[in-house]
Amino acid sequence: MLWGSRFKTKLNGSAMEFSSSLPVDINLIEEDLLVNKAHTEMLEQIGIISHDEMKSIINGLKTIHKEFEDGSWKPNAEKYEDIHSAIEGRLFELIGDTAGKLHTGKSRNDQVATDLRLWLKKAIGDIISSLNNFQNTLIDLSENNIKTIMPGYTHLQRAQPVSLTFHLLAYVEMLERDKKRFDFAFKQADVSPLGAGSIAGSTLPIDPEFTSWKLGFEKYFSNAMDAISDRDFVIDFINSCVVGQVHLSRLSEELILWSTAEWKFVKISDEYSTGSSLMPQKKNPDMAELIRGRSGKVLGNYVNIVSVLKALPLSYNRDLQEDKEPVFSSFTTYINSLNILNKIIATIEINKERFTNELKGDYFLSTDLVDWLVLQGISFRESHRIVGELVKYLESSEKDFSKLTLDEMKKINPIFNEEALEYLNLEKSLGRKQSQGSPNPEMIKDQLKKWKSKLIEVVKS
């Protein structure tokens, strides 16, 4: 026990079990060993320990790492509160009393905060790499579906024609914003709190700048009290996971709908589908459903950490021990969802002709006709009314645009002519788009080139 010297009796066994964080923070063992090594080198640098003592401690830490890796040493949760005390305890067994100098000038408080920041930086790097991979997969699918026409929806009602490529590129944009959020979270985590102690630093001439540099942090803390109690970087990370998971959930929902017999638009590979224990014909999009369902877990983790922090006085309180589980859970849930959805998209089959005939004559070309009337000098509001009258007439006649004659159009308004009929041509609809960010095929090709170039640059960097 790192703190037991002033106590007459040992911590009750049930209290130890209740308070131990070892099963969770054992995930930080790599980072804890790195932090201990950097701190030991700093102690030697400022003359607190000798060079031989430094070598002894560092060699002991290397042995612990090797033992943990090969399974010959496993920390005991009944004996140790956390990974920090477990490592120090094992170090005593390996090198004797010299291990007692390891903790000089630091607290478990600044140690664990440093560990977690290091772990998050590595985790964010893995996430951004997976996001880049997923963007590339979406781009690959997009390149083959520039001419795949599908309905665009508002209120889940057909609104205007788009291409599947246009639809998928919307998710590429979302993923880019996700990367920026994680990049911000990385910058927030990239501050070393090592040397802040438990609240007010140290009277020893420790060198936080040295350990910050050794551990690869961009900078180190300015205020020890804030450094110890700050978990804003945890909130930023989990928030990034929440938004990212919501984006995955939205795409999963669309894949679920598109794969139904009603849509018949996509086929999800058997590798990422399941069947029914009762109905042998069933093919269920369970992986996509699980991604959608696990959004609640990540959101719950966000509520968890914010609730922990909302009423904590400065600086450290044991409540902060509860910060790690929601971090690890959010990371695992999000990156696993991201990687499995990437595989689903990489193996999906698209029914490219699904909507080609069905959409011909569909009323969702009405906006194109409104625009044509505007180009003839009629106000938008009046144009909107005229086309609304035309749709109303067709519905009452049980017709669609494909069966509409010019004579019928002229009965609604004599301004209509042969050119207006051309605006009801589905194949030409996307090509008429002129505004930035529209599904015009030529603009879409430019967008694909931009994204491919950008993602190539990311790989090079």
Quick check: is 229 catalytic?
A: no
- Chain-centre distance for alpha carbon 291: 12
Beta bridge partners of 100: none
Element (H, E) at 135: helix 108-143
Q: Which of 14, 51, 72, 155 is catalytic?
A: 155
Q: How far is CA 348 from CA 137, 153, 313, 354, 442, in A?
A: 11, 22, 52, 15, 25
Of 19, 50, 129, 276, which is the active-site residue? 276
Pairing of strands 219-220, 191-192: parallel
Q: How far apart are CA 67 and CA 363, in angstroms?
A: 70
For residue 80, the number of C-alpha atoms closer than 13 Å in the C-beta half-sphere is 17
**Angle at CA of residue 225, ends 224 and 229, nearest 5°:** 115
Sign of dihedral through CA atoms 393, 394, 398, 403? positive
Give the H or E element holding residue 152.
strand 149-154
Measured on CA atoms in the order 382, 386, 387, 389, is the torsion positive or negative?
positive
Using the structure block, give the residue that is written with the tokens 């491919």: 452
- Provide the CA 338 distance to its chain's centre, in angstroms: 7
Q: Which residues have C-beta within 8 Å of that of residue 268, sequence separation ≥ 6?
A: 255, 259, 283, 285, 287, 288, 344, 347, 348
SS (H, E, C) 297-351: HHHHHHHHHHHHHCCCCCCCCHHHHHHHHHHHHHHHHHHHHHHHHHHHHHCCEEC
- Residues in a beta bridge with 152: 160
Tell me which DSSP letter residue 377 carries.
Answer: T
Verify whether residue 384 is a known catalytic residue.
Answer: no
Question: Which residues are tagged catalytic?
Answer: 155, 276
